[in-house]
């Protein structure tokens, strides 16, 4: 076998190994559950897993037809989203077009439930159109692949498809881009099909 042929075989083998290891290392399991352009797994937050503050089940499908903002928050990381929440509130989006849910990852903190309840009541007063809920078992971490012990923010379009996801504190540039993305999707929804 010539040196050139051996070099080609070694190159192919190295390329195969590198492509395999890069895929395995770079692959984030959460990306497989919730990808931009796809709908989240159809699950309800209910029973022992949690639900809305009023005790009823939470299901993103109840918000289809509107852009839906979902905040999934570890109470210890709630400060990461203050800038985003204030910027979104300042936009005064119409509730018929854009609504939101804030789901608290109750198992991600050592804070007592009554303390979290006080905070949620204050938030409900500040943001009365937001649906608040509790996840007692990290259900959406498992079922949607949301990051545990973090501030998560996702946007679902009117069809329930994921158009944005972020874990951690958004930068001011990201906040601006989020608002522009919401406005863009409102414009797309407002366009009437031509007959």
Give 193 or 87, the one with higher predicted confidence.
Answer: 87
- Do 8 and 55 lie in a common domain? no
- Do 17 and 45 lie in a common domain? no
- Do 68 and 143 lie in a common domain? yes
- Do 83 and 160 lie in a common domain? yes
The answer on pLDDT for 123 being more than 60 is yes
User: Does residue 44 belong to any structural domain of this protein?
Assistant: yes
Cα dihedral 111, 113, 116, 121, rounded to 10, equals -170
> Roughly what angle, to the nearest 10 degrees, separates helices 172-190 and 82-91?
30
The answer on pLDDT for 3 being more than 60 is no
pLDDT 10s digits, 93-121: 999 999 999 999 999 999 898 899 888 88
Which residue(s) pair with 130 in the sheet?
none
pLDDT 10s digits, 43-72: 999 999 999 988 899 999 999 999 999 999
- Do 40 and 135 lie in a common domain? yes
3-state percent helix, strand, coil for the chain, nearest multiple of 5 = 50, 20, 30
Q: What percentage of the chain reaches a pLDDT higher than 90?
A: 66
Q: How confident is the model at residue 2 (pLDDT cuts 50, 70, 90)?
A: low
- Do 16 and 100 lie in a common domain? no
The answer on pLDDT for 191 being more than 50 is yes
Which residue(s) pair with 45 in the sheet?
58
Per the structure, the complete domain to which residue 56 belongs is given by: 34-190
* pTM of the complete model beyond 0.85: no
Give 120 or 178, the one with higher predicted confidence.
Answer: 178
- In total, how many domains does the chain have? 2
């Amino acid at each position: 076998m010539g040196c050139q042929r051996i070099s080609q075989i070694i190159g192919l083998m190295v390329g195969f190994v590198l492509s395999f290891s890069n895929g395995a290392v770079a692959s984030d399991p959460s990306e497989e559950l919730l990808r931009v352009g796809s709908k989240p797994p159809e699950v309800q937050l209910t029973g022992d897993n949690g639900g809305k503050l009023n005790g009823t089940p939470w299901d993103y499908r109840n918000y289809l037809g509107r852009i839906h903002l979902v905040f999934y928050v570890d109470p210890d990381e709630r400060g990461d989203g203050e800038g985003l929440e204030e910027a979104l509130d300042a936009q005064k989006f119409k509730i018929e077009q854009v609504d939101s849910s804030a789901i608290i990852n109750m198992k991600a903190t050592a804070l007592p439930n009554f303390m979290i309840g006080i905070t949620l009541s204050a938030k409900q007063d500040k943001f009365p159109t937001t649906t608040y809920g509790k996840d007692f078992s990290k259900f959406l971490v498992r079922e949607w692949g949301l990051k545990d012990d973090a501030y998560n923010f996702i946007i679902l379009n009117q069809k329930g498809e994921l158009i944005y996801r972020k874990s951690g504190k958004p930068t001011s540039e990201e906040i601006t881009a989020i608002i522009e993305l919401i406005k863009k999707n409102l414009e797309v929804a407002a366009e009437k099909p031509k007959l």
